[in-house]
């Protein structure tokens, strides 16, 4: 299943890059546009790879926290990192009462985990461990890089659409291939491509969240702790939504934005109810396996 999810993610990222290349062709109107699109996609991917951690942490005013400022929390993350086979990530605290958490960084050696002040106050130790394990799984699976690249590529398509809009209004940029204005190209760049990119990005995010939940259950050996954490975060987070750039919403363990109005159309996370159902199924399988093992072992 993990390999299937990775293949799906790579395929979706390739599709996003392909949309940018196609957008470059439509914007310029000839084969040269393909090279422009390819170069734009490559630069966007490199920028997101190198600067993703700083961008996300800055967007939510996260502050690095040394061990002496939060020794118990630091030791907890270190122990969970050791279980996950990862180096200790840098710990950041987000000055917000909204209970949430996210991981970022281009690879496990440059990873950071950010916890809001609200989640530290709200969750008991076992549930906080489950949340941290979820974020560590994102680091282990390199989801932090995947989400950053997907977000940047999706944003690039929107940017290209804006270029076309300005060109159509003020410059002869909207002319395509010396054949005059192409309404199909304009429609694609302004409407179809950004919407498609958004749907692809949401699909990537949802796939990775399920995998991170499973990883958290494996690391903590306690799927029900994450169930309780998700229930609490879902109920409380909507009452105290976090304020920040919505482009980074997929990084959080639960949707950090309000679900009112049109935001329900662009949810970046799978339904919490579905995640909880899957985790409960994992717990049942685990209990069944333990019962079977106990039944087969010789009695004392």
In a domain, 134, yes or no: yes
| Gap between the Cα atoms of 240 and 273, Å rounded | 20
Residue 148 CB contacts under 8 Å (≥ 6 apart), including other chains = 48, 49, 52, 55, 56, 104, 106
3-state secondary structure of 113: strand
Q: What is the 3-state secondary structure (H, E, C) of 137-199?
A: HHHHCCHHHHHHHHHHHHHHHHHHHHHHHHHHHHCHHHECCCCCECHHHHHHHHHHHHHHHHH
Q: Which two three-digit tokens encode residue 2?
A: 């993990």
In a domain, 299, yes or no: no
Q: Residue 179: what pLDDT? A: 43
Q: Residue 281: what pLDDT? A: 94
* One-character DSSP codes across 7-68: HHHHHHHHHHHHHHHHHHHHHH-SHHHHHHHHHHHHHHHHHHHHHHHHHHHHHTT-EE--GG
Q: Residue 262: what pLDDT? A: 44
In a domain, 44, yes or no: yes
User: How many residues are present in the chain?
Assistant: 300
Maximum Cα interatomic distance, the chain, rounded to a whole number of Å: 86
Total domain count, the chain: 1
From the candidates 97, 117, 127, 135, give the one annotated as an active-site residue: 135
CA angle centred on 50, ends 46 and 51, rounded to 5°: 115
Dihedral sign of CA atoms 278, 279, 284, 290 in order: positive
In a domain, 297, yes or no: no
Q: Residue 130: what pLDDT? A: 97
In a domain, 210, yes or no: yes
CB atoms within 10 A of CB 257: 18
In a domain, 101, yes or no: yes
In a domain, 34, yes or no: yes
User: Is 117 known to be catalytic?
Assistant: no
User: Cβ(134)–Cβ(213) under 8 Å?
Assistant: yes
Q: How confident is the chain (300 residues) per 10-residue block, as mean pLDDT?
A: 55 68 69 72 66 77 92 95 96 94 88 95 96 95 75 65 57 46 64 68 74 94 96 86 72 72 58 93 86 64
In a domain, 298, yes or no: no
Q: Residue 250: what pLDDT? A: 74
Torsion of CA 8, 13, 15, 16, to 10 degrees: 150
* Residue range of the domain that includes 159: 2-292
């Amino acid at each position: 299943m993990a390999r299937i999810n990775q293949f799906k993610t790579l395929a979706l990222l390739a599709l996003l890059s392909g949309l940018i290349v196609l957008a470059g062709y439509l914007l310029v109107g000839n084969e040269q546009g393909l090279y422009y699109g390819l170069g734009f996609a490559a630069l966007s991917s490199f920028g997101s790879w190198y600067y993703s951690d700083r961008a996300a942490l800055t967007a939510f005013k996260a502050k690095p926290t040394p061990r002496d400022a939060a020794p118990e929390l630091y030791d907890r993350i270190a122990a969970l990192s050791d279980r996950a086979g990862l180096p200790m990530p840098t710990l950041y605290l987000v000055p917000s009462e909204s209970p949430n958490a996210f991981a970022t960084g281009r690879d496990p050696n440059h990873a950071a985990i950010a916890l809001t002040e609200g989640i530290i106050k709200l969750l008991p130790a076992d549930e906080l461990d489950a949340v941290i394990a979820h974020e560590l799984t994102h680091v282990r699976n390199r989801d932090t890089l995947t989400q950053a690249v997907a977000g940047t590529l999706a944003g690039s398509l929107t940017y290209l659409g804006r270029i076309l809009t300005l060109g159509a209004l003020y410059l002869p940029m909207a002319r395509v291939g010396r054949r005059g204005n192409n309404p199909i190209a304009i429609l694609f760049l302004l409407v179809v491509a950004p919407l498609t990119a958004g749907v692809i990005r949401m699909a990537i995010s949802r796939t990775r969240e399920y995998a991170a939940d499973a990883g958290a259950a494996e690391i903590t050996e306690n799927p029900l702790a994450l169930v309780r954490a998700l229930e609490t975060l879902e109920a409380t987070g909507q009452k105290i939504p976090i304020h920040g750039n919505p482009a980074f919403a997929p990084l959080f363990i639960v949707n950090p934005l309000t679900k009112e109005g049109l935001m329900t159309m662009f949810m970046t996370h799978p339904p919490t109810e579905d995640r909880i159902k899957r985790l409960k199924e994992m717990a049942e399988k685990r209990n069944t396996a333990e019962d079977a093992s106990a039944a087969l072992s010789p009695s004392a």
